[in-house]
Chain A
């Protein structure tokens, strides 16, 4: 059985950069160049460039002569490695054992996943599905050893099969140049007439070892799967703080929506792989002078779904002005927490209602600001302004109210934020006094006599008298 799959992304960095741009940008022929053997060579090209006749390994001068509108950008290895790590994070949702093979490949172990995804083809299908979210060009190849799968991927003739014989056949046909051996080794093998990998495998091992040294024997053992070279499998990080360099400067928020969507997709993958949800995101837009614009997205309820994260982030961003152009965008996950199973009861109605209420409050807070959405709060305190207050909404639904323990007293329905001085003669006292003396343990001591009184328009107010005079504090209405 073929226990290994190799994913090869020949144009990883370029494809990723294009995924961050609106789709119309893909029409422009673009290529990445790198200095190799003292000249600038094309190392990655997009489809539009390939159609124009650009080939990999071509000198940059030749390429731009052939296709004058070709856009050339330098290849950055560190950036590609970051992309590869992000990709591993996404694939980690389906594959437990992943090995990064920089610059642009990933090895997946299949055997342990077969049962989970219902057979070898289930695993392959799963990978294809996952990669569909990413507009990346890739080759998927199988093999009975990691090296076998890699060789087929590099050579560009991938075989996806459960059976080892098919891989073997394809492998045997590979020319010796595709063996991945050092160049001088290949030259030596070619000199003795071993021109395909198959020819090499046919020879008795002992003789090969005598003639070409132990390194070749190690290579053959790795190729046949007798010996798996030590691997360092990928482990997802415990925190998420990813940055995306924009290809072009962005002047407004709508222009960074594509990169943001990608980042949130990764956030979902990150949270999904840990079975976490988050209560907040920190979005940072990096500017040319090194300063950043920070936007904190607080969520009324923990979530991990990218759709919801995107909607709330957009509402938050709409409130912020973008003073300078953005060069890079980063997202950090704040306060991740384990997901909690929603208590399922037979009568599920109330639970879903509160859930939707926190959803609505999340939207309102995102658009209007957190302090503008408030809830009624009660406290054990005799001072009226402390007993009932408005406080910014916090998602602690179903909290026990303290009011049951306070004696139920006739209180007005409205309380003035600031008591207003009044003229006593305009009010007719109806009920009272109720003396409230409290708060001596704080600086805010009160000693007041409260009355219910009617004003000239027959309205009922809650007024009090203290050493400073008469004040209106609330309305019965």
Chain B
């Protein structure tokens, strides 16, 4: 596609942000591959080290954990599960080579204490990944967690129902997950680019094959 001469000139100088490619000074930042090529491509290389990401799910158990399994496999240090909706099941996770000794599960009903625990985990050197289930985080809370995650270079995911309001949050990426035949990912917000309409993600590879018995 040809641009007008003035626009070309701006692009030459590097003053024009096109919204698709990761800016050159950002490419060095450490990305952790999400394990799903189609998602990595849209996120600019994967999950950003030192970021907090939101996964809005239409219903629980539509495949959100399968989406995160590659990250769980890759992380070397401990993972904190904060308020998971059910018991994480050891035999199933060990089938996917997740290190069971590194999983810490915390159940805390008091939202204030839960946030305290999340922050403690992010500030500790021993925890690398935080998975947090929460119905609704306020802008201040997200910002605080993002700051902790960024300062300590941790990766955090907040799994939450679909949020009706369009209010801004300090998440690095905001994903909306829904399921038809396949898991559909809609990018509400991403660091390097525009929001994207839903696209299929092949997380079913980590789930039992779907077939029909006659």
A contacts, CB < 8 Å to B: 353-354, 356-357, 359-361, 363-364, 367-368, 372-378, 384, 387-390, 393, 397-399, 401, 403, 406, 408-417, 428-431, 452, 454, 457-461, 474-477
Contacts and interface: CB of A to CB of B under 8 A. Distances in A.
B12 interface: no
B105 A412 contact: no
B127 A430 contact: no
A367 B113 contact: yes
B140 interface: no
B124 A360 contact: yes
B161 to A, nearest CB: 14
Nearest to A461: B61
A158 B127 CA distance: 57
A357 B127 contact: yes
Contacts of B95: 408-411
Interface of B: 59-66, 69, 77-78, 84-96, 100-101, 103-108, 113, 116-117, 120-121, 124-127, 179-181, 207-208, 210-213
B207 A403 contact: no
Of the listed residues A411, A428, A454, the one surrounded by the most CB atoms of chain B closer than 10 A to its CB is A411
Given A360-B120, A413-B89, A430-B213, A401 B61 contact: no
Contact of B89 (A356, A368, A414, A459): A414
A415 B105 CA distance: 14
Closest 9 A-B residue pairs measured CB to CB?
A388-B90, A357-B126, A477-B61, A411-B92, A415-B89, A475-B61, A356-B126, A411-B91, A376-B90
A72 to B, nearest CB: 47
Contacts of A397: 101
A160 to B, nearest CB: 47
A91 B185 CA distance: 67
A377 B107 CA distance: 16
A477 B66 contact: yes
A476 B87 CA distance: 12
B210 A417 contact: no
Given A458-B180, A477-B61, A390 B127 contact: no
A459 B179 contact: yes
A367 B59 contact: no
B89 A412 contact: yes
A417 to B, nearest CB: 6
A421 to B, nearest CB: 16
Given A356-B125, A357-B78, A428 B94 contact: no
A353 B92 contact: no
A431 B106 contact: no
A134 to B, nearest CB: 34
Nearest to A454: B210
26 contacts: A357-B124, A360-B121, A360-B124, A364-B106, A364-B117, A372-B106, A372-B108, A373-B105, A373-B106, A374-B106, A375-B105, A376-B93, A388-B87, A389-B87, A397-B101, A408-B95, A410-B95, A414-B88, A454-B210, A458-B179, A458-B180, A459-B61, A460-B210, A475-B60, A477-B64, A477-B207
A429 B181 contact: no
B106 A353 contact: no
Of the listed residues A368, A387, A397, A410, the one surrounded by the most CB atoms of chain B closer than 10 A to its CB is A368
Contact of A376 (B100, B181, B208, B212): B100
Contacts of B179: 457-459
Nearest to B179: A458
Given A377-B90, A398-B101, A430 B210 contact: yes
A410 B104 CA distance: 22
Contact of A431 (B88, B94, B126, B211): B211
A406 B90 CA distance: 12
B88 A376 contact: yes
Contacts of B113: 367-368
Contacts of A413: 65-66, 69, 88-89, 92-93, 96
B90 A452 contact: no
Contacts of A375: 100-101, 103-105
A443 B93 CA distance: 29
A109 B105 CA distance: 55
A126 to B, nearest CB: 35
A356 B213 contact: no
A410 B89 CA distance: 11
B91 A409 contact: yes
Nearest to A399: B101
B101 A401 contact: yes
A291 to B, nearest CB: 28
Given A367-B113, A367-B116, A408-B95, A354 B126 contact: yes
A414 B78 contact: no
B100 A403 contact: yes
A348 to B, nearest CB: 13
A375 B60 CA distance: 22
Nearest to A378: B90
Contact of B87 (A361, A364, A415): A415
Contacts of A398: 101
Contacts of B60: 475, 477
A107 B90 CA distance: 61
A244 to B, nearest CB: 31
A399 B84 CA distance: 24
B22 to A, nearest CB: 30
A166 to B, nearest CB: 55
A460 B62 CA distance: 8
A471 B198 CA distance: 33
Contacts of B85: 414
Contacts of B127: 357, 360
Given A359-B124, A364-B120, 10 more contacts: A360-B126, A360-B127, A376-B88, A388-B90, A401-B100, A413-B65, A414-B87, A414-B89, A417-B87, A457-B59
Contacts of B126: 353-354, 356-357, 359-360
B77 A403 contact: no
B106 A378 contact: no
B94 A401 contact: yes
Contacts of A390: 87-88, 105
